Amino acid sequence: MRRLIQAVPLLLGISIASFAILKAIPGGPLAAYENDPNVTDADIRRLEHELGLDQPVPLQYASWLGKFVVGDWGYSVVSHQPVLRLIGERLPNTVLLMGTVFLVVVLLTIPIGTLTAVRQYSIFDHVTTGTTFAFLSMPTFWLGLLLIIAFGLDLRWLPLGGMRAPGAAGVDLIDSARHLVLPVATIALVQLGSRVRYLRASMLETISQDFMRTARAKGLAERVVVLRHALKNASIPLVTVLALDLPELFAGALVTEQIFGWPGMGRLFWDSATRFDYPVLMGILAVTSTLIVLANLFADVLYGYLDPRIRYG
Partner 1 sequence: MSRLSIVVALAFVVAACGPSTGGTSPSGAPSASGGPVRGGTLVFAIWQEPVALAPHLRNQTVANVVARPVTEGLSRTDTDGNYQPRLAKQIPTTTNGGVKLTSDGKMDVTWQLLPNLKWSDGEAVTSADIKFTWQVWMKDPNTISRTGFDQIESIDTPDDMTAVVHYKTVYGPYPNNFGDGLIPKHVLENVQDISKSDYVRMPLGTGAFKITEFVAGDHITVERNPNYRVAGKPYLDKVIFRSVPSREAAIAQLKAGEVQGMWNLLESQTPDLEKTPDVKLEIYPSPSVERIEMNTAKNQDMTDPNSVHPVLGDINVRHALLLATPKQDLIDKLLFGKAKPGTSPVSQGWASPKSLTQEGYDLNKAKQLMDQAGWVAGSDGIRSKGGVRASISIVTTTGDQTRERVEQVLVDQYKQIGVELKIANQPSSVLLSGSWSAGDPRKRGSFDLVMYASSPGIDPHNTVFQRYYSKNIPSAANGGNGQDYTRFKNPDADKAIDEAGSTLDFDKRKSAYAAALKLLNDAHVIIWLYERAGIDARRTNVGGWSGNVWDDITWNQEEWYLTAR
For partner 1, the binding residue among 6, 63, 79, 214 (CB under 8 A) is 79
* Residue nearer to partner 1 on the CB measure, 166 or 219: 166
Answer for the pair 251, 284: CB distance below 8 angstroms, yes or no.
Answer: yes
* Residue nearer to partner 1 on the CB measure, 148 or 207: 148
Question: How many residues belong to the site for partner 1 (CB under 8 A)?
Answer: 61
The interface region with partner 1, picked from 83-91, 119-127, 202-210, 212-220 by CB under 8 A, is: 83-91
As measured in angstroms, the least distance from the Cβ of 69 to partner 1 is 21
As measured in angstroms, the least distance from the Cβ of 62 to partner 1 is 19
> Residue 83: CB partners within 8 Å, gap ≥ 6?
73, 74, 75, 76, 279, 280, 283
For partner 1, the binding residue among 11, 68, 82, 300 (CB under 8 A) is 82
For partner 1, the binding residue among 184, 190, 268, 285 (CB under 8 A) is 268
* Angle CA 139–144–146, to nearest 5: 100
260 binds partner 1 (CB under 8 A): yes
Taking the mean position of all CA atoms in its chain, how far away is CA 174? 25
172 binds partner 1 (CB under 8 A): no
72 binds partner 1 (CB under 8 A): no
The interface region with partner 1, picked from 71-79, 105-113, 235-243, 303-311 by CB under 8 A, is: 71-79
Answer for the pair 122, 130: CB distance below 8 angstroms, yes or no.
Answer: no
* Residue nearer to partner 1 on the CB measure, 6 or 40: 40
The interface region with partner 1, picked from 44-52, 58-66, 99-107, 223-231 by CB under 8 A, is: 44-52
Of 12-41, binders to partner 1 (CB under 8 A) are 25-28, 30-41
d(CA 256, CA 146): 12
Of 219-238, binders to partner 1 (CB under 8 A) are none
For partner 1, the binding residue among 46, 119, 213, 228 (CB under 8 A) is 46
* The total number of residues written for the chain in this structure: 313
* Residue nearer to partner 1 on the CB measure, 45 or 228: 45
SS3 labels along 217-266:
HCCCCHHHHHHHHHHHHHHHHHHHHHHHHCCHHHHCCHHHHHHHCCCCHH
Could you give the C-alpha distances from 41 to 50, 57, 78, 102, 201, in angstroms and in order? Answer: 14, 22, 18, 50, 63
d(CA 87, CA 287): 10
d(CA 120, CA 136): 20
For partner 1, the binding residue among 151, 152, 178, 294 (CB under 8 A) is 152
Best CA proximity match to 73, nearest among 282, 213, 295? 282
What is the rounded end-to-end Cα distance, in angstroms, of the chain?
12
Binding site for partner 1 (CB under 8 A): 25-28, 30-48, 50, 53-54, 75-76, 78-82, 86, 89-90, 93, 148, 152-153, 156, 159-164, 166-167, 258-264, 267-268, 271, 275-276
